């Protein structure tokens, strides 16, 4: 069964989402490791093929007496050594599966000499290669001092994730699902690239966008990451992921941007609040523990926060879902969408999000053939209602972003900020229409 997986190393399954913290099991938990796979059967029988000796008299002209001749005269007799070598070679070729061994033995017998010098492997020190501009090596070298491992413990267990240094005095960006285990008196510890460690406190978090900021205590002189522009990314562009998968700190993997604005829903709480974002999709290998780490461009600039993966889930003997690893479908929160939320958290504010003020449901095919998000209710005074949208309308596009369903609409709207103006394309009674509106804010609901 497939599942969206958040990429920190612990946390519970929520809705159809499996968080990707690699949780440290308690002593009471049974051993759920899978039994070793069986050995493959040995490959088939003996190599080569045996043939029976020929039967009957040889066919062909009678043998010549005397030395053989050609149009150019008699053929000189070959020396016994040459006949022996030729015979060995023919014999080796006829052995079939053993021909390689026969050939090697022939070469040794003819060419080995007691006077040949003995050679051994040489050690060559080529030095550390200089990183070429735009290479994975150069990009990783630039960002590595700005990436940390975050260890988290609390009443529910322990685990780890990754983070990005935002300031020299210890502000660090990560995912909300990395820090949530420390809620209610847990502990956060940061491990830096130089091997030093520090305690940290939660500054604030936003579960709707899966973002959090922590502050390391008693540190200075850290190297803040350089932030790029996720809006400048192109599909096919090279990217690099850095983090601590399965606790292996400072791990670097590379790939490309596979898609942009990919709607991803990773959680939904009992009140119906959805954690969703329009993600950068990449095939760079990211795994449990990468959560909160940077996705960078080939200049070493942060363009996303690695947050979730799609994986092939499986069950163990106890009926529990087993964490899966990378299958080349990783998702990062675009840095341009993240930073307005992060700045609000750093300033001590409650994060706000853009909204249309409607409730919607998926529509795959209706009488009009439209696919999108169908309005179930448009609140009075909402941005949607003020723009003339009403119950039954099917929203198919926000600006140039196609809307395939309710999750897609939520993730796309959340990539904007309150007050942004957008163009909404919708279908009503079989007719396609457009309207422009100014997005509202959820600040009044906080």
Task: List residues with catalytic annotation.
Answer: 177, 210, 291
Report how far residue 68's alpha carbon sits from residue 76's, in angstroms, rounded to the nearest whole number.
8
Q: Which neighbouring-strand residues pair with 332? A: 280, 306
Dihedral angle at the C-alpha atoms of 257, 258, 261, 265, nearest 10 degrees?
-110
Distances (CA, A) of 322 to 3, 13, 23, 289: 11, 11, 11, 15
* Integer Cα distance of 245 and 337 in angstroms: 24
> Beta strands 69-70 and 73-74: pairing type?
antiparallel
CB 284: neighbour CB atoms within 10 A? 25
Please, what's the b/e burial string for 28-64 (b: 16 or more CB within 10 A of its CB; e: otherwise)? Answer: eeeeeeeeeeeeeeeeeeeeeeeeeeeeeeeeeeeee
Cα gap 416→153, rounded to integer Å: 34
CB 333 within 8 A of CB 277: yes
What's the CA gap between 161 and 130, in Å, rounded?
Answer: 31
Q: How many Cβ atoms are within 10 Å of 286's Cβ, its own excluded?
A: 32
Which residues have CB under 8 Å from 48's CB, separation 6+? Answer: 95, 96, 97, 98
């Amino acid at each position: 069964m497939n599942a969206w997986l958040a990429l920190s190393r612990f946390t519970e399954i929520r809705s159809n989402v499996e968080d990707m913290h690699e949780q440290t099991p308690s002593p009471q938990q049974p051993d759920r490791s899978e039994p070793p796979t069986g050995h493959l059967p040995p490959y088939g029988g003996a190599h080569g093929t045996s043939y029976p000796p020929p039967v009957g008299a040889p066919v062909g002209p009678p043998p010549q007496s005397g030395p053989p001749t050609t149009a150019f005269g008699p053929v000189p007799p070959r020396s016994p050594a040459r006949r022996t070598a030729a015979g060995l070679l023919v014999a080796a070729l006829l052995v079939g599966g053993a021909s390689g061994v026969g050939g090697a033995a022939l070469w040794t017998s003819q060419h080995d000499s007691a006077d040949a010098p003995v050679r051994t492997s040489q050690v060559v020190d080529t030095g550390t290669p200089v990183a070429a501009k735009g290479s994975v090596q150069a990009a990783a070298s630039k960002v590595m001092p700005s990436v940390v491992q975050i260890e988290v413990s609390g009443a529910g267990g322990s685990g780890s994730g990754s983070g990005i240094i935002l300031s020299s005095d210890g502000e660090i960006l990560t995912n909300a699902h990395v820090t949530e285990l420390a809620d209610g008196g847990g502990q956060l510890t940061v491990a830096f690239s130089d091997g030093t460690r520090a305690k940290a406190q939660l500054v604030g978090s936003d579960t709707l966008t899966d973002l959090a900021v922590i502050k390391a205590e008693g540190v200075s002189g850290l190297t803040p990451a350089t932030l790029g522009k996720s809006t400048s990314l192109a599909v096919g562009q090279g990217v690099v992921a850095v983090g601590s998968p399965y606790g292996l700190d400072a791990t670097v993997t590379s790939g490309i941007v596979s898609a942009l604005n990919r709607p991803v829903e990773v959680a939904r709480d009992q009140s119906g609040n959805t954690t969703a974002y329009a993600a950068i999709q990449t095939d760079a290998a990211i795994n449990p523990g990468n959560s909160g780490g940077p996705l960078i461009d080939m200049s070493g600039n942060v363009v996303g926060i690695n947050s979730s993966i799609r994986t092939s889930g499986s069950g163990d003997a106890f009926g529990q879902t087993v964490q899966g690893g990378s299958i080349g479908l990783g998702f990062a929160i675009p840095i341009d969408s993240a930073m307005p939320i992060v700045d609000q958290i750093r300033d001590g504010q409650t994060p706000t999000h853009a909204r249309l003020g409607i409730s919607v449901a998926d529509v795959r095919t209706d009488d009009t053939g439209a696919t999108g998000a169908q309005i179930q209710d448009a609140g009075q005074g909402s941005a949607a209602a003020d723009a003339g949208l009403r119950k039954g309308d099917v929203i198919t596009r926000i600006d140039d972003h196609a809307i395939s369903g309710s999750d897609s609409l939520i993730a796309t709207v959340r990539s904007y900020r309150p007050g942004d103006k957008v163009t909404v394309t919708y279908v009503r009674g079989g007719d396609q229409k457009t309207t422009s509106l100014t997005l509202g804010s959820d600040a009044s609901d906080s």
